[in-house]
Chains A and B, each alone.
Chain A
Amino acid sequence: TQLLEQSPQFLSIQEGENLTVYCNSSSVFSSLQWYRQEPGEGPVLLVTVVTGGEVKKLKRLTFQFGDARKDSSLHITAAQPGDTGLYLCAPPGSGGYNKLIFGAGTRLAVHP
């Protein structure tokens, strides 16, 4: 059962543009993680958001956890080709034994 909906599914932009991707659910989560997966590699953890309304910044990436802890967004400023990849969200531990239940992801392509 897919708990999370990620949008958009695909995003193709030019270098230097800004973008926002979303992770939505009808469930309340105690925390949410964002991962980036580059082609041919495993996902890499970017951030964990814990508190409703929390905003975390990682260089040009800004992560926000919704006030109700049901949704999250990732905003990238001045995207670069190195940002290309699959962006996945998952609530850690919601599936028991700390296994991850991922959304389908947003596939981002940033063109030079």
Chain B
Amino acid sequence: DTGVSQDPRHKITKRGQNVTFRCDPISEHNRLYWYRQTLGQGPEFLTYFQNEAQLEKSRLLSDRFSAERPKGSFSTLEIQRTEQGDSAMYLCASSSEDSHFGPGTRLLVL
């Protein structure tokens, strides 16, 4: 199966620590998106890459968040100085036309 993969699937961290998540998109997809989903809500858009260029960032993406896609393939999302409010499911999706989502990384900040 060559779907979107994300690593890790689960992460528990203490407040103030930094965390980094990885997304491996479907190989031929040049579009990559990060979303965040909190309990009881639909996914909310965080940021978009076309190839290696980060073309859009949501206002949800505070200064503590940074995303990269250095070679236009995999992407990383880093959260610095995590806060309890960062606890959520972080979803990655890639697309050529329709979006294909990964299984997500569930983050719990204690």
Contact = CB atoms under 8 A, between A and B. Distances in A.
Contacts, number: 59
Contacts of A33: 98
B98 A103 contact: no
Nearest to A48: B98
A104 B98 contact: no
A91 interface: no
A66 interface: no
Interface residues of A, number: 25
A95 interface: yes
Interface stretch (B14-22, B35-43, B69-77): B35-43
Interface residue SS majority, chain A? loop
A52 interface: no
Interface centre among A9, A44, A97 (most CB of B within 10 A): A97
Interface string A18-48: 0000000000000001000000111111001
Interface residues of B, number: 25
A96 interface: yes
Contact of B31 (A90, A97, A103): A97
Interface string B82-110: 00000000010101001111111010000
Given A97-B50, A104-B40, A92 B98 contact: yes
Contact of A88 (B42, B48, B95): B42
Contacts of B35: 100
Contact of A42 (B31, B56, B91): B91
Contacts of B100: 45
11 contacts: A40-B106, A42-B93, A42-B101, A45-B98, A45-B100, A88-B42, A97-B50, A97-B55, A100-B43, A102-B44, A104-B41
Interface of A: 9, 33, 40-45, 48, 86, 88, 90, 92, 95-105, 107
